[in-house]
Amino acid sequence: MPRDACAVVLAGGQSRRFGGDKALAEFRGEPLVKHVLRGLRAAGFAQIALAAKEPHRFRDVAPDVELVADGRVVQTPLAGLAAGLRASRHDLVFACAADMPFAADAALIDALTAAMAGHDAAVPEAGGSLQPLCAVWRRQPCLRIADELLATPRPPGPRAILGQIKSARLDWADIRPFLDADTPKALKDLDLK
């Protein structure tokens, strides 16, 4: 039975530290984002979307995924999150970054979903820091605040939503779901995980 939620992959960054589009960089023989999407499919999401500045660039690697333009000039994952929340046909939205190949951890997603009771977001905390790029968001309240934040002169990241809603923090011992590839070396190191 499908998970009654939308999963959104955030792929709108410039990948400055990486030196090229990290979402399309090769990881274990295929583009990194394909690993993320495969995990989300296995997790059983009823809807999967990918938000990017130029979503058409992902047609070949994500032919069965809803491609959504984040529609903002500003470079912040908040733009992709807002686009994904807007595109969602479901109340709950699991959002993760395109460079996090292990983010679709079913146990983590189940725990985050359970933590949503009475909350507008559930964000894991691992390795001493919050992980808002691998979290569950309630569509309406989070979209409203994201749009307000994006209308400011210097829009922040998704973490800024948390101060304006009722959010749950979930301690998560395993850091593997939050490993990402910000640099080519980090991508190479992921291959060892």
Nearest to 77 by CA among 96, 104, 91, 64: 96
Count the Cβ atoms, other than its own, within 10 Å of residue 182: 15
- Averaged over successive runs of 10 residues, the pLDDT of the chain (193 residues) comes to 91 59 85 94 97 93 94 87 98 96 96 98 94 97 97 95 97 94 79 68
Q: Which domains does the chain have, with CATH numbers?
A: 3-190 (3.90.550.10)
What's the rounded Cα separation, in Å, for the pair 169 and 154? 26
What's the rounded Cα separation, in Å, for the pair 40 and 186? 22
Which pLDDT belongs to residue 193?
64
The model's pTM: 0.94
Q: Where are the alpha helices (DSSP H) in 46-151?
A: 77-87, 106-115, 139-150
Tokens of 37: 């999407």
Whether the CB-CB separation of 5 and 90 falls below 8 Å is answered with: yes
Which pLDDT belongs to residue 16?
53
**For residue 183, what is the DSSP state?**
S
